[in-house]
Amino acid sequence: MSQTKSFSKSVDLMFDRAADLVDISPGLREKIRVCNATYTTRFGVRLRGEIHTFIGYRAVHSEHMEPVKGGIRYAPSVNQDEVEALAALMTYKCALVDVPFGGSKGGLCIDPGDYSTEELEQITRRFAAELIKRDLIHPAQNVPAPDMGTGEREMAWIADQYLQIQPTDIDAKACVTGKPVSMGGIAGRTEATGRGIQYALREFFRDSDDVARAGLSGSLDGKRILVQGLGNVGYHAAKFLSQQDGAIITTVVERDGAVTAESGIDVDALRSWIHENGGVTGFPGVEAVASPETALELECDILIPAATEGVIHAGNAARICAPLIIEAANGPVTAEADQILREKNCVIIPDLYANAGGVTVSYFEWVKNLSHMRFGRMQRREQEARNERIFRELEALSESLGNAWALSESFRDEFRAGANEIDLVRSGLDDTMRKAFQEMRAVLQQKDGVSDFRTAAYLVAIEKIAESYRVRGH
């Protein structure tokens, strides 16, 4: 990480810029900012005939709403400052998009690549047990989810571990989100953060003032996109934007190098290549970027950092040419870089808004687990029957007019079915992303002293959190 200030200091600076513009007492401001508590565990697991000690964290930033929510990250670089910064971002993110949770984050210092699947399961179950013992995994108090280095598989192990410890908890499945659908997960959770990036950009391009602010024009169609990180988030964002909105993925930056193609990169083919070959190197039909360390500085219309924090810093911010950055990762732009980019009139759609799709669909999953029923189960066929009835009525009308027209098969196919779970999840996510963007936009347009989306986003979040303290009389 190339940050001169720590990650949490960087988040604090961004918080302060907005808090200065909010009418709030100094005491409440400080209460909102600080991380409430961080639990550190050092636990041993017997592997390969020897006890190995691991360090894990779970930070709880704010309990103004419970449960608190946030992912668990597996990476060798995990540390207390990082989980606390990420937990703070979760608090602000949930407030901004009206997801009724406080903020939390966990991490384990581990390189998952060093261990077999069986070993990772043992380590995960042991880490989960440590957190469950202290109610740091609990359906009503603290609900983890995937983050860097974790996914459905780890969430399934965590859910199963919780069930073993609390077999009579009828809401046990709601102790963690991002589970496989076969274990109480929800359709669309894996794609959710990338899908949220797509919905966020669509909303951005709906407003010609926003588009002009970035010095761009027109729609997403034909926009050249540079993506850093083709993991779950970067891959889904790039896939949807290129396959559904006409954007062109011109550059992909990965750990081992960067590739570029003016005519566009096939992200599905590149992802398969990465899975088979461990990186982008050698992918046919593209040019390898000669100096990948400066690949983020390449020309494009939209830059999507979807890897990790601190990648745009004081050392490279001035050379970033993208007029629009959408932060798919948490904290990819340091506070110092943010200042440099603002001075260059670069428009940044900030992390706490841009990547909120993940936690939004986690919220839907949690509600599904508490209701013990898949979304759409009660309504789908009833809706279908209604649609059929409308078709019959229209056909009777057409007949009475001498068969003047007929409904096409494609129209029937498209409109017959009622909404299933994935349709409802996408609709709820789209609505969430649009509404939060509109709130941010209104602040940016109307509030004196606000000239960027990040400050607007923090401001909306701080006001909502402050209000939830006030109504409770604090």
Nearer to ligand GLU (CB atom), residue 253 or residue 359? 359
Distances (CA, A) of 119 to 114, 123, 124, 125: 9, 6, 9, 10
Nearer to ligand GLU (CB atom), residue 158 or residue 450? 158
Nearer to ligand GLU (CB atom), residue 145 or residue 211? 145
Nearest C-alpha neighbor of 59 from the set 94, 15, 105, 93: 105
Least Å from the CB of residue 214 to ligand GLU: 24
The residue written with tokens 């017959």 in the block is 416
Least Å from the CB of residue 274 to ligand GLU: 21
> Under a CB-based contact definition with an 8 Å cutoff, are residues 188 and 195 in contact?
yes
In residues, how long is the chain? 474
* 3 state SS of 302: strand
C-alpha 94: how far from its chain's center? 11
Nearest C-alpha neighbor of 240 from the set 438, 430, 435, 432: 430
Q: How many CB atoms lie within 10 A of CB 125?
A: 18
Q: How many CB atoms lie within 10 A of CB 34?
A: 13
Nearer to ligand GLU (CB atom), residue 139 or residue 358? 358
- Residues near ligand GLU (CB under 6 A) are 69-71, 145, 147, 177, 330, 355, 358-359, 362
Least Å from the CB of residue 287 to ligand GLU: 33
Least Å from the CB of residue 145 to ligand GLU: 3
β-strand pairing of 347-349 with 324-326: parallel
Nearer to ligand GLU (CB atom), residue 228 or residue 362? 362
Q: How many CB atoms lie within 10 A of CB 73?
A: 24
Least Å from the CB of residue 459 to ligand GLU: 20
Q: Which residues neighbour 84 within 8 Å (Cβ) at sequence distance 6 or greater?
A: 8, 35, 38, 59, 61, 105
DSSP at 427: H
Nearer to ligand GLU (CB atom), residue 62 or residue 177? 177
In the structure encoding, which two tokens stand for residue 149, read together? 């280095």
Least Å from the CB of residue 113 to ligand GLU: 20
Q: How many CB atoms lie within 10 A of CB 285?
A: 11
Sign of CA dihedral 257, 261, 265, 270: negative
204/219 Cα distance (integer angstroms): 9
Nearer to ligand GLU (CB atom), residue 3 or residue 232? 232
Nearer to ligand GLU (CB atom), residue 90 or residue 248? 90
What percentage of the chain's residues is helix, strand, coil (to nearest 5)? Answer: 50, 15, 35
Q: Which residues neighbour 154 within 8 Å (Cβ) at sequence distance 6 or greater?
A: 72, 74, 120, 124, 146
Least Å from the CB of residue 1 to ligand GLU: 17
Sign of CA dihedral 348, 148, 34, 97: positive
Least Å from the CB of residue 146 to ligand GLU: 6
Any idea which residues carry the catalytic annotation? Answer: 105
Nearer to ligand GLU (CB atom), residue 229 or residue 257? 229
In the structure encoding, which two tokens stand for residue 79, read together? 């540390």
Least Å from the CB of residue 366 to ligand GLU: 9
Q: Which residues neighbour 348 within 8 Å (Cβ) at sequence distance 6 or greater?
A: 324, 325, 326, 327, 333, 338, 341, 342, 452, 453, 454
Shortest-Cβ-distance residue relative to ligand GLU: 71
